[in-house]
Structure 1
Amino acid sequence: MPRFALLIEYDGAPFAGWQAQADQPSVQGAIEAALARLDLGFKAGARIAAAGRTDAGVHATGQVAHADLTRDWDPFRLSEALNWHLKPAPVAILAAARVGDDFHARFSAHERRYLFRLIARRAPVTHDRGKVWQVLNPLNADAMRAGAAHLIGRHDFTTFRSTMCQSPSPVKTLDEITIEERDIPQGREYRFSLRARSFLHNQVRSIVGTLERVGAGSWPPERVAEALQARDRAACGPVCSPQGLYLTGVGYPHDPFAG
């Protein structure tokens, strides 16, 4: 059965997350339903695998999944056909690529990249409603960068993972956190970019929620290191909203979409 990699973009607002669920809409379920309309062999309980199982409300601009089909499609025609059958769901197949049987969207990945968008202003957001986390007052980006520096490297991230996390180990290596700020009408936007081989459940949202406390002046930057060393979920700052989180990219030894 030919295997195809899919590069996927979606608005997570109407979904209960990536993973298929019997009684709730999911991104995986929407794509599998579209595949079943194209490839009759896919209807027999077939599943697709993704690089990251995003939570309810989380978006993606660079999710990757793979599917085993019975027909050897032209990749361009496959992506076009899937996009037709995905309507009107806010899911788009940006590209499809034929890959070898040894490619696995999750297990072949060596890097995941996430973006978190946070807006600080008094007026409600309009165009970005459901796409950002909003706070009312401006934040100190330099203080947040100082706090974030304590998290770079290999650590036990127990403090920054959900109590429902299924990862066998809380030890992860966080390769990068960058924080950019930009002016918006009557406010500021802060963009947190995080890169690692893999992330724990709620790790990004826990980190950003904690750094927001630093930026607001409620925590000194050094308290981030203390929270990390505590290895205690109770030491974490508030877990921020999922609406500002985006899976922006997945790295592989050989990019399946490079052409």
Structure 2
Amino acid sequence: MGFAVLGFSSPPFPTGRLYSANGCSSATNGGGAVENPIHKVKPTVAVPQYKWRLVIAYDGTHYAGWQFQLSPPTIQCLVENALIRITKLGREDLCFVGAGRTDAGVHAWGQVAHFVTPFNYDSLESIHAALNGLLPSDIRVRDISAAVPEFHARFSAKGKVYHYKIYNDTIMDPFQRHYAYHSVYKLNTAVMREAAKHCIGRHDFSAFVNVSRNDRVLDPVKTIFRFDIIEMVVFFYHED
């Protein structure tokens, strides 16, 4: 397991913005002090904040989804712990956020996430290598880049692509068992394609919002641009 030595610099503080001790932006009252519910002014320190964008791929077979929890392990927890070791910052300081949640056993090729630091990195190659050196082999950071302050992994997303695979045969290919649903009944792809047409367009997904978990969905009306039913060749050989 490799670990790269990281170098960073601390350029002059940015102006026009105040940050609390945990690195997340705080509201001000116009006079430079942070608003407090009980009207007590907390001292603030003008510190720089740099935002970084990650593109993460993972095999979710052995994980309880993306969303942070300590046990059983999740993708966010492991990536966040690696960032904590590398940056020496706390979880609250990193403000680590993913573009979306994936459930237990679900995989991702391009999960976008972001985190913040109070310092700038001279080279992203070292932190990239360090992350992949600390993460297990079924989780990989494909890319890391600097992001503009306004970027948010979740709320800046323009769209998402989902793939659902169904293995349609009497015997399941053991090499596909973690990546496809097994259906022994013959599927009618012509009927499926016709039904898929009704999913395309703008729809209200309020019924899918988890109110108890405070999903903070700004607009539950979303647009489905494509819904393709694609037949693929089965390579698993067996005698009938």
TM-score by length of 2: 0.70
- The residue aligned with 1:99 is 147
**2:127 is matched with which residue?**
78
Q: 1:127 aligns with which of 151, 175, 178?
A: 175
Residue of 158, 170, 174 corresponding to 1:110: 158
In the TM superposition, residue 164 of structure 1 has moved relative to its aligned partner by 4.1
Measure, in 1, the Cα distance between the counterparts of 2:163 and 2:119: 35
Please tell me whether the aligned partners of residues 42 and 69 of structure 1 are also in contact (alpha carbons under 8 angstroms): no
The number of residues matched between the two structures is 184
Distance 1:140 1:44, change over 3 A: closer
1:44/1:103 CA distance change after superposition, 3 Å: closer
Distance 2:95 2:220 in 1: 28
Q: Secondary structure at the match of 2:120?
A: coil
Q: 1:169 and 1:142, CA in 2 relative to 1: closer, same or farther beyond 3 A? A: same
User: Which of 222, 227, 240 does residue 177 from structure 1 map onto?
Assistant: 227
Q: 1:156 to 1:162 in 2, by over 3 A?
A: closer
Give the superposition deviation at 1:53. 1.1
The residue type equivalent to 2:64 in the other structure is A
Partner SS for 2:231: strand
State the SS of the aligned residue for 1:17. coil
CA displacement at 1:131 relative to structure 2:
1.1
Is the CA contact 1:11–1:58 (under 8 Å) kept in the aligned structure 2?
Answer: yes
Q: CA deviation at 1:57?
A: 1.4
Partner of 1:46: 94
Q: Name the aligned partner's letter for residue 72 of structure 1.
A: N
Percent identity over the alignment is 34
Output the CA distance in 2 between the equivalents of 1:106 and 1:44.
18
- Determine which structure has the larger helix proportion and give its number: 1
Q: Could you tell me how far 1:2 is from its partner in structure 2? A: 1.8
Quick one: which of 132, 135, 141 aligns to 2:189?
A: 141
Alignment-mate amino acid for residue 79 of structure 1: H
| Structure 1 stretches lacking a partner, 5+ long | 188-259
* SS at 1:181 equivalent: coil
Structure whose CA Rg is larger: 2
Shift of 1:154: 1.2
Q: Which residue of 2 aligns with 1:191?
A: none
Relative to 1, partners in 2 of residues 1:9 and 1:132: Cα closer, same or farther, differing over 3 Å? same
TM-score (norm 1): 0.65
What does the per-residue CA deviation read over 1:110-144, in whole Å, with 9 as the maximum and x for residues that have no partner?
Answer: 11111111110111221122111110133121211
1:64–1:169 Cα change, 3 Å: closer
Instruction: Indicate the SS of the match to 1:79.
Output: helix
SS of alignment partner, residue 65 of structure 1? strand
Higher RCO (CA-CA < 8 Å; seq separation 6+): 1
Moved more, 106-115 or 14-23: 14-23
